[in-house]
Amino acid sequence: MQTTANNSWTIEDYVAGVLAGDHAILSRAITLIESQSPAHEHNAQEVLQRLLSHTGKARRIGITGVPGVGKSTFIEAFGCHLINQGHSVAS
């Protein structure tokens, strides 16, 4: 993996890692995309754009809400439902 001067991964690193199925890089890419930092926004959008052509018929959804309303519980139940229906899920 290449790193930049500030020790973060390059856009190419994220894309290659996600496409290779590297779970560690996927989790870091998710963290980048979920980041609220304005400094991360451009890189996050670029990673998503570069991966978009590899998604086939994938759907991306967002779940929001105040703390404690059950987002994680819903996501777990919804993910299990989709898997039981034969779909693949990435979180």
Could you report the per-residue pLDDT of 10-35, keeping only the tens digit for each?
999 999 999 999 999 999 999 999 99
Q: Output the pTM of the full model.
A: 0.64
Task: Write the CB contacts of 64 (distance below 8 Å, at least 6 apart in sequence).
Answer: 71
∠ CA(84), CA(85), CA(89), 5° rounding?
75
Rounded alpha-carbon distances, angstroms, from residue 17 to 9, 53, 75: 10, 15, 24
Residues of the chain with CATH 1.20.5.170: 1-60
Q: CATH for 1-60, among 3.20.20.60, 1.20.5.170, 1.10.287.130, 3.30.365.10?
A: 1.20.5.170
Check pLDDT > 50 for residue 3.
no
d(CA 25, CA 74): 25
